[in-house]
Amino acid sequence: MIEIKNVTKIYSMKKKQVVGVDNISLTIQDGEIFGIIGYSGAGKSTLLRCLNLLERPTSGQVIIDGVDLTSLNDKQLRQARLKIGMIFQHFYLISSKTVFENVAFALKAAKKPKEEIEKRVNELLEMVGLSDKRDAYPSQLSGGQKQRVGIARALANDPTVLLCDEATSALDPSTTKSILALLKKINRELGITIVLITHEMEVVKEICDRVAVMQNGRIIELGTVYDIFTNPQEELTKSFINSVLRFEIPDHLLQKRTGTMVKIHFKGEIAEEAVISDMLQSFKVKGNILHGKIEYIQEIPLGIFVMELIGEQEEIQRAIDYISQRTNALEVIAYAA
C-alpha cells in the first residue's frame, strides 16, 4: 500500500517559490492501477517523483508497505528504491549497451550473481516479448520496443510498485495500446501496483482502476474510472472525458431540429436493455437518434445517445420521465423549438 500523507513540494528559486504539489493525501491500494491525470504544470511528475523520493517532499510523508521513505538514510533509501520500478516517456536506455546489458545493469547495481543475472534477464525479455532483440542496441529498436526494455529493466529487482511517467506519450496509438496491454498483464499476473501519470484520458480509460485529476498541485477529483466517466463533477474532468468520448452534435443537426433534444446515459447493465424501444412503444412520440455509442470502461458498458423526441409536449415529458426513471441519467439539451 502507498500512503501519501500531506505531501507538499515547493521549489525554491532565487527570487520566487513554485508550489509543485500542494498538500496531497492519498492512499493507493496493493494491486491497483492508479492513474493521475492533469494538464502540463499540474504537478503530476512532481507527485510521482515524490513517491520514490527522486524529489524529496518539502513536507509530508510517503509510506510504502509500512515504511516511511522520508525517514530513511541514503543507504536504506537505495535499498527501498529497488522495490519501486520506474519507466519514463523517453525510456533513458544506455545507448552503448545492448538490450541484455541494459536490463542486466539494474541487477548488477543490486549486486546479483552473474548466473542469476543471465537467467533473470532472459526471463524478463521473454515476458516483454523481446527475446529476439537480446543483442540489439537501443538505436536499432522502435519506440515500443525501447519501452519494453524500459519495462524489463524496471521489473528486474521484483518491485512491488511500478511508477510510469508518461510512459506512452512518445508512442503512436497502436504501440500505446500494446504497451498498455503489457502493463495490465504485469499488474494482473505479477500483482504489481502501478501508478501512472498521463495527460491522456484514453490511457486512463484503457487500463486504470482509479484516477485522480490534478490541477495546480492539488487533486480536484478522485474516483473509480467508471464513476469518473459516468458522473464527473469538475469542469476539467468533464473536458478530459469529452476528449475521449468526443460527443459533439454537428451544428447543422442542431439547427435543423424541431423536437426536444435529450442526452441519455445508459450505465452498466441498463445499456443492454431495450429502454428506448420500450419508450417508443409506450408513448406517442417519435425518436430520432442523432448520435450514439456504447463505450466499454473497465469492461462495463456505458451507452450515450442523443435523441430528438417529436410529438405533443405533454407526451414528450412523459417519455422523458419514463427514461429518467429507468436510467437515472437523462439530460434535456434543448426543448422543442
Ligand X SMILES: Nc1ncnc2c1ncn2[C@@H]1O[C@H](COP(=O)(O)OP(=O)(O)OP(=O)(O)O)[C@@H](O)[C@H]1O
- Interface residues with ligand X (CB under 6 A) are 11, 18, 20, 38, 40-46, 199
Of residues 195, 199, 221, the one with CA closest to residue 208? 195
3-state secondary structure of 87: strand
Q: How far is the CB of 238 from ligand X (least distance, A)?
A: 19
Amino acid present at 137: Y
Q: Which residues have a Cβ under 8 Å from the Cβ of 142 and sit 6 or more positions away? A: 175
Count the Cβ atoms, other than its own, within 10 Å of residue 191: 10
CB-wise, 99 or 164, nearer to ligand X? 164
CB-wise, 167 or 276, nearer to ligand X? 167
One-character DSSP codes across 202-271: HHHHHH-SEEEEEETTEEEEEEEHHHHHHS--SHHHHHHHHHHH-----HHHHHH--SEEEEEEEEGGGG
Q: What angle do CA 7, 13, 14 make, to 5 degrees?
A: 150
CB-wise, 43 or 57, nearer to ligand X? 43
Q: How far is the CB of 179 from ligand X (least distance, A)?
A: 18
CB-wise, 38 or 144, nearer to ligand X? 38
* Burial bucket for residue 259 (CB in 10 Å: 0-12, 13-18, 19+): buried
Q: How far is the CB of 15 from ligand X (least distance, A)?
A: 12
CB-wise, 18 or 337, nearer to ligand X? 18
Element (H, E) at 181: helix 173-190
Q: How far is the CB of 327 from ligand X (least distance, A)?
A: 36
Q: How far is the CB of 165 from ligand X (least distance, A)?
A: 8
CB-wise, 44 or 146, nearer to ligand X? 44
One-character DSSP codes across 112-153: --HHHHHHHHHHHHHHTT-GGGTT--GGGS-HHHHHHHHHHH
Q: How far is the CB of 202 from ligand X (least distance, A)?
A: 16
- The C-alpha cell that represents 181 in the structure block: 496491454
CB-wise, 20 or 311, nearer to ligand X? 20
Q: Are strands 300-311 and 218-224 parallel, antiparallel or unpaired?
A: unpaired
Q: How far is the CB of 7 from ligand X (least distance, A)?
A: 12
